Amino acid sequence: MKRILSIQSHVVFGCAGNSAAVFPMRRLGMEVWPINTVQFSNHTQYAAGWQGMAMPAGHISALCKGLGDIEVLGQCDAVLSGYLGSAEQGDEILAVVAAVKAANPAAIYFCDPVMGHPEKGCIVAPGVTRFLTEQALPVADIMAPNLLELETLCDTHLADLAQTRAAAHRLLAKGVQMVLVKHLGRAASQTGRFEMLLATQEGDYLVSRPLYEFARQPVGVGDLISALMLANLQAGFEAVAAFERTNAAVDAVLLRTWQADAYELQLIDAQSAFAEPIVEHRAERLA
């Protein structure tokens, strides 16, 4: 059994951060140790707002010390980080990553560089973007940005697939082993499809799935993608197979969510797709 330490946000109601990631990873057979960077009543894109707080400075470090005290850090196979409540939490996360890798040199760090999208109501604390660009990037083994986050990481505008591939390889050149671009958006090769890019030193791969017309776009899809990709890799699937399985499972969740006319991801209804996804769309190796 693989063990994943997942450090990201938590919502009491709905599916975002750990609330979108922990259950799917467990359904895939992972033992997940969640640490919450914030605890909110709901995600921040509800018009009525939200209640809750970011965890105080030292909270993550204290929990990690507790894990060290009971001598389980060496059992951790991967650290996953997502939404941060403050830039200071980033420093604590990197200390956790260092402690885990010291105890288990084979452990990996999967960084989902959540930078926010103010136009949609997703806001991150000051300094988080700088932390991700300057401190997390050099340490991460795998990064999973969306197109806007990749632009920020590379300080460039991306208009098409070729430019996006080049930007992903800039991250690979800095030591990242694998880059998953979770949503190509305007840089996609075709309209009317949701496309993702996987960039590795061995090659680049493109996969797509249907686009569903939601009255309100569900939140937490990126968190789900990162969690499933990491869990599939930890389950022993090679990168392209993990990529395809992740795409298939996310498609199943979004189809169920669309059929239910729901705003929150229908993870429980689609849970069989996490462990046994039906892969209909194969990844294309790009020239």
Quick check: 278 and 269 in contact, CB under 8 A?
Answer: no
Q: What is the pLDDT of residue 123?
A: 64
Per the annotation, does 144 bind a ligand? yes
- Tens of pLDDT, residue by residue over 73-87, are 999 999 999 999 999
Per the annotation, does 149 bind a ligand? yes
All structural domains of the chain with their residue ranges: 3-286
Position 119 confidence tier, pLDDT thresholds 50, 70, 90: low
Torsion angle of C-alpha atoms 14, 140, 87, 10, degrees rounded to 10:
10
Per the annotation, does 44 bind a ligand? yes
**Residue 205 β-bridge partners:** 198, 285
Average pLDDT of the segment spanning 20-48: 96
Position 190 confidence tier, pLDDT thresholds 50, 70, 90: confident
Position 125 confidence tier, pLDDT thresholds 50, 70, 90: confident
Query: Does residue 233 sit in helix, strand or coil?
Result: helix
At residue 121, does pLDDT exceed 60? no
Position 157 confidence tier, pLDDT thresholds 50, 70, 90: very high
Rounded mean pLDDT of the chain? 95
At residue 198, does pLDDT exceed 90? yes
Share of the chain above pLDDT 70, in %: 97
d(CA 286, CA 246) in angstroms, rounded, equals 19
Average pLDDT of the segment spanning 265-273: 97
- Tens of pLDDT, residue by residue over 17-32, are 999 999 999 999 999 9
3-286: CATH number: 3.40.1190.20
Per the annotation, does 9 bind a ligand? yes
Average pLDDT of the segment spanning 170-188: 96
Average pLDDT of the segment spanning 198-207: 97
Per the annotation, does 280 bind a ligand? no
At residue 182, does pLDDT exceed 90? yes
